[in-house]
Amino acid sequence: MQDPIHEWMRWQPTGRRGRLSGLVLTPARVVVGVGAALGLLGGLMPWAEGVAPGLRGFEPVFFSGLGGAGDGLLILILSGAVAFLTLHRTPALSRVRTVRLAPAVLVALAAITCANGYRATLLEIAVWERRGGTGGIAPGLWLLAVGVVAMAAGTIWLLPPAIRWQSQAGDPTDVVTIRGRDVAVVAAGLAGIVPGGALGIAIGLELTGPMIIGTLAFGALIGGMLGAYAGNWAMRWALDALVARRGR
């Protein structure tokens, strides 16, 4: 009898495939995709525009989500991840419930980030007004809000089937076993992300000088990845040493 996991992973050629054959374009998923596209566009556009005193009198000013706390950068990452998990055939048709529920978590984070970006935008406009200038919310923030609402609507539309999902014999969750060693290695990797990211930010600031959001994000990303790898490696080494010591 063939192993269930082999049966599940069996691949058969389907002949000629179109350009969009790798996507699942149901109405709900298209709504999420459109919302993600609006989120990406809104994250790149200015969130506030106005005029404020400068070196040459009153000059045009703007506030972007890519500056400040980096809410726009986070929106770009979340929107891209939601679009991939919702539209791409592999995660969209996954038989693992966690994968199907992941977009809902990411959309919730995007909504929180959008609200935080709105607050930061109002604070920036208030700074311009205290200096004698004026300003208002730019179309980019409204576009982002519409995108987040669309992603949320489409994701809520897709939630009931994911919640009611019934596991079947041969699903990955049935044939994959989780050992204590695996949990320890993953926990060590997660624990290494924070110090690794902090170290990456410190090195980035030391090399570039000024505190730029791009430097912070890049340093945190690279440092976090290296920290996770170091944590995994250290835990594996410690567990292997413990097993070798017990075997003596």
What fold is seen in the domain 20-171? Answer: Butyryl-CoA Dehydrogenase, subunit A; domain 3 (1.20.140)
Over residues 109-125, the pLDDT tens digits come to 999 999 999 999 999 99
Burial (CB < 10 A; 0-12, 13-18, 19+), residue 79, is buried
**Dihedrals φ, ψ of 207, to 5°?**
-80, -35
pTM above 0.75, yes or no: no
Name the band, by pLDDT with cuts 50, 70 and 90, for residue 173.
low
Over residues 39-73, the pLDDT tens digits come to 999 999 999 999 988 778 888 998 988 876 778 88
Residue with tokens 């199907």: 100
What are the domain boundaries of the chain? 20-171, 177-248
Cα atoms in the Cβ-side hemisphere of radius 13 Å centred on 225: 5
Rounded Cα gap, residues 114 and 104, in angstroms: 15
Average pLDDT, the chain: 81
